[in-house]
Amino acid sequence: MLYRPFVARTTRCNAIFHAARPQGCANGPAWALPIRYSDRELEQAERHRKAVGLDPAHVITAIPGLAISGGGIRSAIFALGVMQAMAERDVLKHFSYLSTVSGGSYIGAFYGSLFVPDGLRIGNQQIRPQRFQTAAEKAAKKLRTGEPASGKDAITPIAYLRDNCNYLTPNGLHDILQAIVFSTRNWFAIQYVVGVSLLTILLWLNLSIASLMSLAPAAYRAIQCDTRWIVASVPLASVVCIVILIMSPLSRAYWLTQNLAQKTSRLGKSLPFASLLLVMALAMIAIRSGLGDSPLTNSNVLSAFWKPPYLIAGGSLVLVTGMLGVVYLVGAWLYVSRKRGSGKSWFPGSMTSKSSPSDSRPFVDRLRNALSNAYTTPIRLTCGVTFLTGAFQMAIWLAALAAIDALGSFLFSKILALETQHGAQAAALTSGGSLAVLAGLGGSIWAITKFVMSEGKGIAEGLMKLPRLVLATIGAGLAALLTLTFWSVVAHAVTAKLGIFACSMSGLLHCDATTGYFIGDLPKLLVVCLILLSLALIDGLCVQFLNLSTYQRLYSMRLTRAFLGATNNVRLDHASHRDVTSLVRGDSITLGEYYHRYMCAPVHLINATINKTIDWDSSLVQRGARGLSFCVGPAGMTVGAKLGVLQCKWEYANDISTPATHIRGNASTRDIWLESLTLGDWVAISGAAVSTGLGKITHPGYSLLLGVTNIRLGYWWDTYSTPFSLGAESYERVRVPIPAQEVPRRLFTEKFFGTQFCLKSELLGEFDGPRARRWYLTDGGHFENTGAYELLRRQLKFIVVLDNGSDPTCQFTDVGALIHQARVDFGIEISETATHISSPNGISIDARFVAMSFDAFKRQSSCMAVLLAVKYPKSGTGQLLVIKPRITPLTPYDARCYAFIHTSFPNESTADQFFNEVQWESYRALGEAQARALFT
């Protein structure tokens, strides 16, 4: 994309940026927008109304809103036909609010870009306000079907869109081959980052063990075992240590609380402690027996079942875990005591007084909860830095590392044995055959991926007896195992090349005194480890790799050139600039231009989803609410239902950063710097339907499968970007205060190894949401697919929804999800209780084609829309007109012919993003016909 350089402003912007803080909506609900935030949107809506010849609305609620749902290119083109008919009926100008999701954002951005003056698009920042009004007056005309082109060789925006309906592969086979090369390049780049990280871990593990072995070779020579198992046993030994030192003592500490907060005496509360003391006494007897200091040592029964080493080890284990259990209980008690609340005693005569901690149910519940959460809660240092992760997760990671290392060692030893027996050539042929098998397995995994993500029917219908989630998990596990095993074999090959553990790698399973133990060239291995660590650190610091290695960049560029290029006069007036695969000046539109302070376009709200699967209180992956709403508009961005807004200064943004202020209630936080993205980037994010994060339906199986195969469309957005520097003056920067409490610093996961940990989050489907520095943004339909969610937040009285999601049986599932979300988040009730249409002045709707309930819509084949009643919590009522693509007697004959051949029309799969001209025109004509019938 073509970015225009940031023009340095004077230090006057410092005073503007640090002006009076915006005030929140103190008396309104938590989800309501701050006053200044709403005023900024109202100002643009009023400019739009004035430019198209309408009277001022004065309040946002009186402005009609248009919502365009997700549905890929299908939704975009149907909506185009609807908007063309609305423009012809002189109705479209009344809708000064436009909210779009996914495919709806394609056409929404196209419509909004019609209002951007040509001079502003090519870099002229000194545009007079009159130019914006002129662009607004011409916008509706450019939508009309019969509008002539501006010149002899020029074409209209609609003609350009039709010519580029196959925007992803406009040049056919050439673009398909380019996509294959693009995919291959990115896949190998992902393998490189994964490989370097895994090699770094495995080789440092081998170096540490080899160094220890070199210090006392005689001791290891006496072990008489294959050193491969010594290497593999170290992670397993770490797992055992975690279990002994952390998990088992936590369990003992938990059961010591079983008689607390009960109607028992002090003796009763001490019974669990007495039980622990008796068990520890038995452990001490066992240790003495193992040392030979007890008469029990001579017992035939005891010696038959318990050898002295086992007695000593078992007794020591019981003693250590018991003592640590008491220590952990005391620590948890002191921790919980900081926030102790009052509880009532159950003993007679003390009901009105505060109870002791051991008798307080709230205190004991918090104590038990702290001990339970300690298994998975990340370890934090006193300085606030998060250190590693929870004990249980750490044990799982170490066990997986041991398994991968052992598997790689086993396969590499087989390759060496084959080379020893049959020569290097046979080993090479066998290895090549193995690679072919792996390639076949990779093809199978790819096929499973396509099946899992497909929506069609046919041969795969028989396989549907198996849950797709099961297939995804199996395929993901197999793909991950193959990838990690390959790099484990490479690690063992490196150590063998340097002579590390040469005795065992030579096929000798036992190292005796005669053979000796050859430890190899440790200095060279140290150099290799340092180089790999440096590479991993460099990869971690180059976080933009995450976004450049996905399909998001290609997707964004093609959308920009197809839908925003359709309003770029440089393309429209010159045939040589109409290639959608080439860069043309004026295609890219920054948000500073799109939301310019003189802009006369409707208020365009672009919806996306913030993936959040980790519960902030317990640090566990949560089952529900795995996504938060996220909306970009003229005033800034809304975050979730009740997490506040980011009020942006678009006019002071450059290509890197955008200054913003976080507002939540009456609290505001300045000096926030957000990563700057273009309009095309945000449209691509809004339509990132297939990725490792899927909002509400995110699952580790899907995430791992899509991550390993690198089918990723999401975007890692930096909310802690680089501040401005104006001469000698530099701005400070702070983190977005979500949640309100101080977030632990994550130097390793967010800075030094940010790339690796973000990639790990994608592969496992573990997203921290807005608490993290980088937010993983995907399709707005992963949260709510109709686009009406943000319009309901603004309590508009009349909203038209183009419900273009694939819905062949007219179940209105997306509308059902909207009704649920609006009730839960805003307390807004949407029901089938409307009795008549109450449209604003200037909008006339033919009631013959409108059903008053979903069942009536299904029964009446001539209906094209459903009218729903909206009841806001405190500000009256409204109406929701839901228009559904449908074949009716008024559908044009050519569209009906297309439906006869393609029986799934107009609900073809959203996965079909490769429209031909007939398909494109059928959807456009259908939308145009329905809107002409509805709006009179």
10-residue stretch averages of pLDDT, the chain, 936 residues long: 38 39 57 95 96 94 96 94 95 97 96 94 84 91 80 87 81 75 86 89 81 65 52 70 81 82 73 85 79 55 58 82 87 76 45 56 78 67 50 74 78 72 60 53 52 44 50 72 81 73 42 44 83 91 91 90 92 84 87 95 97 76 75 97 95 92 92 95 94 88 85 94 66 84 65 90 91 94 96 97 94 96 95 91 94 95 96 91 96 94 90 86 96 95
In contact, 523 and 530? CB cutoff 8 Å: no
- Residues β-bridged to residue 65: 97, 799
Residue 746, number of CB atoms within 10 A of its CB: 20
Calpha distance 650→593 (Å, rounded): 8
Contacts of the segment 461-467: beta carbons below 8 A, 24+ positions apart = none
DSSP state of 62: G
Polymer length of the chain: 936
Check residue 311 and give its pLDDT.
75
In contact, 473 and 701? CB cutoff 8 Å: yes
Check residue 94 and give its pLDDT.
96
Calpha distance 151→573 (Å, rounded): 7
What's the N-to-C CA distance of the chain in angstroms?
Answer: 41
Check residue 384 and give its pLDDT.
44
Structure tokens at 329: 């209980």
Alpha helix (H) ranges present in 577-677? 591-594
| pTM > 0.75: yes or no | yes
- Residues β-bridged to residue 97: 65, 603
DSSP 3-state assignment of 521? coil
- H or E, element range at 846: none
In contact, 801 and 786? CB cutoff 8 Å: yes
- H or E, element range at 467: none
In 3D space, the residue among 228, 205, 232 whose CA is nearest the CA of residue 503 turns out to be 228
Calpha distance 810→756 (Å, rounded): 44
In 3D space, the residue among 693, 707, 701 whose CA is nearest the CA of residue 484 turns out to be 707
Domain boundaries, the chain: 235-391, 789-934
Check residue 380 and give its pLDDT.
53
Check residue 520 and give its pLDDT.
58
**DSSP characters for 68-114?**
E---HHHHHHHHHHHHHHHHHTT-GGG--EEEEETHHHHHHHHHHHT
Check residue 500 and give its pLDDT.
61
DSSP 3-state assignment of 901? helix
In 3D space, the residue among 665, 723, 631 whose CA is nearest the CA of residue 22 turns out to be 665
Backbone angles phi, psi at 662, to 5 degrees: -90, 130
Residue whose entry in the numeric block shows the structure tokens 């307080």: 360
In contact, 779 and 567? CB cutoff 8 Å: no
In contact, 778 and 714? CB cutoff 8 Å: yes
Check residue 102 and give its pLDDT.
94
Whether a cis peptide bond, with omega within 30° of 0, leads into 739 is yes
Amino acid identity, residue 492?
H
